[in-house]
Amino acid sequence: MNPLKWIKRREAYVRQREQWMQDLMTAGQVEEGRRKFMKMAALAAGAAAGASFVPHSFTLVDVVNANTQVGQQPFTFAYISDSHLYEKTLNERFVRQLERAVADVNALDPQPDFILYGGDLAQLGQPSELKLGQQILKELKAPVKMMVGEHDWFFDLGDLWKEMFGAPYYSFDHKGTHFVTLMSVNEKDFWTAKKLTPMQRMQIVAGLDDGRQSRFEVGEEEREWLRRDLAKVPKTTPLVVFSHSPLYKYYRDWNFWTEDAEPIQALLHPFKSVTVIHGHTHQVLTNRIGNIHFHGMLSTAWPWPYAPTGLPRLTVQMNRPDPFNQTEGMGDGAITVNKSGYVDMRYDMWNRNPLIVSERYLASNGTQDAPPKTTLPSY
Ligand SMILES: [Fe+2]
Ligand SMILES: [Fe+2]
């Protein structure tokens, strides 16, 4: 493109963005602002073909249209994860951040078929924290599927969470895809012999790198349930599995880990297309093991740093250059299930353009459709 033309388009984009920010501030019209942003992101993506200004932004509508052209009935679901709520009187910031994610998802047009909540709704499993989270999530327009995280569980070993949200593991079918939600943060009993209180147990697990806890696992009983559940599903049916911890071994010392990952992967390998979407790691995280594609979700509370070793090769590290920005590295997102059953994962980071880790990127082992990399430092 003629460089002058490009500069003009970029200036137009910046003007529109400024206008959008002003609309948002003055009128408080979050939903309208969000719609305008999505339109602008698409416009800028067109303008930026071959340039690095807004290199990989396209809208939910674009993804849907692209798939419609090949005759598939695509569908999209959204995700919100890892809100780590304290009581409002202790920490209002995390509350506001979850409310922001709810507003983001409610502004999606078209609306997602459902929303997956990825676990760690509470910080220390307190009734006040879980109830506050439930109250905020009730504002979502689309139906919500819940998954449990270790922060929700280890105060009362899931008693209240189950009462509020139902079974901690289950499966369902949606538009030809079989979905499984796992409870992947079971631990071996390290508390009874030591006579620990519920809060001591909770705090040890919440610490992640506290040497007294055991590693996360799905466990034998639930693996047997999974085996029986999958036995009823044809091997050609696309499979999407939700887990809180990644269903592979990333970094043991921080419990970015599932101890029985291998036997679970063995149950998933016979299927034609398998995607695992997990919470817990609070970062853009991408992996592929054989036919299984893995994607980590963003947190609405804080980003974890990347582990010092074990980072999967396909991960394009998210850019977090501003440690003084309170919402740097956080956000929510949406996932499109494609004709093949594999997914395009869209990370809606609050201070960045949307980032898409596509099916094509994983299927080609990173040789095609790579998300933009940055040379800026990340803290
Ligand atoms: Fe978390
Ligand atoms: Fe977690």
* Domain coordinates in residue numbering, the chain: 1-55, 71-363
Going by C-alpha positions, the residue among 12, 62, 97 that lies closest to residue 351 is 97
Q: What pLDDT does 24 receive?
A: 52
Written as tens digits, the pLDDT of the chain (379 aa) is: 444 454 555 455 455 655 655 655 555 444 444 444 444 443 333 333 332 223 233 334 344 344 433 335 789 999 999 999 999 999 999 999 999 999 999 999 999 999 999 999 999 999 999 999 999 999 999 999 999 999 999 999 999 999 999 999 999 999 999 999 999 999 999 999 999 999 999 999 999 888 899 999 999 999 999 999 999 999 999 999 999 999 999 999 999 999 999 999 999 999 999 999 999 999 999 999 999 999 999 999 999 999 999 999 999 988 776 777 888 899 999 999 999 999 999 999 998 889 999 999 999 999 999 998 877 766 6
Q: What pLDDT does 23 receive?
A: 58
Rounded CA gap, 369 and 344, in Å?
A: 11
Architecture field, domain 71-363: 4-Layer Sandwich (3.60)
Q: What pLDDT does 324 receive?
A: 77
**Which bound ligand lies closest to the C-alpha atom of 216?**
2
Q: What pLDDT does 65 receive?
A: 40
Q: What pLDDT does 35 receive?
A: 46
Q: Ligand 2 mean position to 327 CA, how many Å?
A: 19
Q: For the chain, list the strands marked E by DSSP.
A: 75-80, 115-117, 144-146, 170-174, 177-181, 239-243, 274-278, 286-289, 292-296, 331-337, 343-349, 355-357
What letter would DSSP give residue 284? -
Q: What pLDDT does 20 receive?
A: 54
**Which bound ligand lies closest to the C-alpha atom of 244?**
2
Q: Ligand 2 mean position to 284 CA, how many Å?
A: 15
CB 54 within 8 A of CB 13: yes
**Which bound ligand lies closest to the C-alpha atom of 299?**
1
Q: What pLDDT does 124 receive?
A: 98
Q: Ligand 1 mean position to 213 CA, how many Å?
A: 16
Q: Ligand 2 mean position to 27 CA, how many Å?
A: 36
Q: What pLDDT does 9 receive?
A: 52
